[in-house]
Structure 1
Amino acid sequence: MDIYLKYLLVGLAIALPVGAITIEMTKQGLKNGFIHGWAVGLGGMTIDGTLILALYFGLASILSLPYVQMPLWIVGAIFLGMLGYDSIKNADQDIALAGEKPTKSFWSTYKNGILVAVSPGNLVFWVSVFGTVLTQSYHTTQSGSFGIAALGILSGIVLHDIGLLSIVATTRKVMSRNMIKWSSIIAGGLLFFFAGYFIYEFINDLIEFI
């Protein structure tokens, strides 16, 4: 139980900083409500769970290689840039105010969550942060500690998502269509910012590699 609580707090702490998933969840939550924001979170957690298994079976050793990481930053930048462009271009589309029926399907926003989370830049993040945390638990003498730690981290992410979307759902009730539109534009700009950060990391890695 101590291991679970420890890694639940770790998962919550890691999920708190604003990232691409948080931005997409907030945008969809404002435009289409709690369920659609939650769909993005579920899409992200689908990838998170898959990556935990992959790290357990040795993926970390491959992704930690510099010549593997460098192209991942670029592909990640492209993924986030595409989402940012779509967010700005369609800022006034698919907006359902509180009490209105959403025009976007649950599975469509779920796929958005997968697209953000499967970004190769996210894979590098998992190796550098989550991989280290989970490896520590894997090497402890207590049987099954890796699985307990992984469950704790995912639980922390769920708590973060529910808390965030509860705030978003409440805020959405007092927002106009134009306010939500501008929120989508700002979200797109932030996604472009993260895409630029990925390119920056690629350049740094390239300089070090050369």
Structure 2
Amino acid sequence: MLVLLFSSILLGLSIALPIGTISIEMIKQGLKNGFMHGWSVGLGGMTIDVILIILLFVGLAPILTIPFIQVPLWIIGAIVLFHIGYDSIKNADHEITLVGEKSAKSLKSSYKNGLLVAISPGNLVFWVSIFGTILSNSFDSSNIFNFFIVSVGIIIGILIHDIGLMAVVTGARKFLKPTYIKRASIVAGLVLIGFGCYFLYKFIDSIPMIMQRS
């Protein structure tokens, strides 16, 4: 059991390590408003991860692989990332909290950003296609406990990554001037808009396939 849990934790770390939209938003919020705000973004993303695990458990996740479901998700994801990216650039010099000051931004707002960024086709398809297979293989109606161990291990791995990332970011934040934090926010916004452009491309590219099937 311990071996299964440990390997699942490593698996969770491997999920979270690649820099994606959630990590970018976490870093931005961590630099501007501190540890808890960055971590709140990560908790928002983890909420979607847990929901997807539950969907996998009850067998509903394959619905997300249906083209008629996926295509609208691409454009929704693009719109969300365009909005968050634009907001990041527009307000790059706003809501910067210096070390020792209390942030005016609410944790609920950071958590909501994490939810919105996580509800993207890239994240959903990644979970369903790759880790859906792993979790499905660990599912056995006669031994549901294995599925539970694997799921918990993956979430712990993601949690360890998020806490470690925020520890590094908030440590670096102590030595950064507001000007550099502003620039980092602009870069983060451009990266998110870049992801949004990719999602928009995937939406446009998927339309002919849907037209052929209809």
Fold match (TM-score > 0.5): yes
Q: Do residues 60 (structure 1) and 86 (structure 2) align?
A: no
Aligned length: 210
Q: Tell me how large the CA RMSD over aligned residues is.
A: 1.6
- Which sits farther off after the overlay, 28-37 or 140-149? 140-149
- Aligned counterpart, 2:87: 86
Percent identical: 55
- Aligned counterpart, 1:138: 139
Please list every run of 5 or more consecutive structure 2 residues that lacks an aligned counterpart in the other structure: none
Q: Do residues 5 (structure 1) and 6 (structure 2) align?
A: yes
What is the deviation of 1:140?
Answer: 8.6
Mapped partners of 2:49, 2:144: distance in 1: 22
Question: Which amino acid in structure 2 is aligned with residue 189 of structure 1?
Answer: L
- TM normalised by structure 2 equals 0.92
- Aligned counterpart, 1:20: 21
- TM normalised by structure 1 equals 0.93
- Contact in 2 for aligned 1:8/1:154 (Cα 8 Å): yes
Question: Which amino acid in structure 1 is aligned with residue 187 of structure 2?
Answer: I
3-state DSSP of counterpart to 1:94: coil
Mapped partners of 1:138, 1:168: distance in 2: 37
- Inter-CA distance 57–141: structure 2 relative to 1 (3 Å threshold): closer
* Deviation beyond 6 Å, 4+ runs, structure 1: none
What is the deviation of 1:139?
Answer: 4.4
- Aligned counterpart, 2:107: 106
- Aligned counterpart, 1:129: 130
- Aligned counterpart, 2:75: 74
Mapped partners of 2:61, 2:51: distance in 1: 13
- Contact in 2 for aligned 1:77/1:121 (Cα 8 Å): no
Question: Which amino acid in structure 2 is aligned with residue 96 of structure 1?
Answer: T
Mapped partners of 2:78, 2:41: distance in 1: 19
- Contact in 2 for aligned 1:40/1:114 (Cα 8 Å): yes
- Which sits farther off after the overlay, 33-42 or 132-141? 132-141
Per-residue CA distance 1:161-189 (angstroms, 9 max, x = gap) = 01111110111001011100110000000
Mapped partners of 1:206, 1:140: distance in 2: 39
- Aligned counterpart, 2:34: 33
- Inter-CA distance 204–4: structure 2 relative to 1 (3 Å threshold): farther
What is the deviation of 1:71?
Answer: 1.4
What is the deviation of 1:143?
Answer: 3.9
